[in-house]
Amino acid sequence: MSPLITAADLAEALGGVTVLDVRWRLGGPPGPSEYALGHIPGAVYCDLDTALAAPAGSGGRHPLPSAAAFEASMRSLGVSGNRPVVVYDDWNALAAARAWWCLRYFGHGDVRVLDGGLKAWTGELSKDAPDVTPGDFTARPGGMPLITAAQAAILADDGVLLDARAPERYRGEVEPVDPVAGHIPGAVNAPTTENLEPGGRFHRPEFLRERFNTLGVVEGVPVGAYCGSGVTAAHEVLALESAGITASLYAGSWSEWITGPGRPVERS
């Protein structure tokens, strides 16, 4: 099953799926206020910072939440294990991809991202917050491959480690967020912007497969992705999944990598 869903298919599925509005973007505007102005009918707001991440620290700016914390958050949003989930945002699926990945990692088997995000939705929007019946989702870690900093370093040598950030951040020319600029030695730059068509929808699977093939992602070669804090990299993993390629996520990403004493930094 594709990890993506069209707006037309979502419109037909409303009432039979749990819809999470994951609007969030670095630097704002605040997601809750955007949600209050209008959202897909029945959608429940999911906050990336509190529901999809633990507090920032040595694990990076957006470390993964514990299984217990994630389970509690999802249940409070009405997520159940036997009910499909659709997630969306208005930021080129970057935040939605994080929700998709977290749900998949913690064991939910039927999660899809609205292709094209909120701007692809042609139906009416609602300002009403729905009454939420608590869900019964049980978090079981391990549903998606996850790698540590040490494993990411090995993957950069023995496989393909994709850096999902903008080229100038990868090269170390600018770093607007983290205190150190550069990238993990051996990583290959693969900006997430190139996963999308001009209108904001994902490229077709055949296009994505060809794109990743040119970056060294071929059959039999392990692949992983990282970014600044593990949010954008989830978008890379989603694009790879859409192309039929399974990839690992380095959740701590660059913001964790630079906290480790002695970890090398490359600029080019």
- Catalytic residue positions? 227
DSSP state of 198: T
Angle between helices 232-242 and 205-214 (to 10 degrees): 110
Max CA pair span of the chain: 53
CA distance 88 to 82: 20
Position 178: which residue type? D
Nearest Cα neighbor of 21 from 80, 88, 102 is 88
- CB burial class (10 A; 0-12, 13-18, 19+) of residue 152? buried
Tokens at 61, concatenated: 């700016």
* Cβ within 8 Å of residue 268, ≥6 positions away: 171, 172, 183
Peptide bond into 134 cis (omega under 30): no
Q: Give strand ranges (E) for the chain.
A: 4-5, 18-21, 44-45, 85-88, 111-114, 160-163, 188-189, 223-226, 248-249
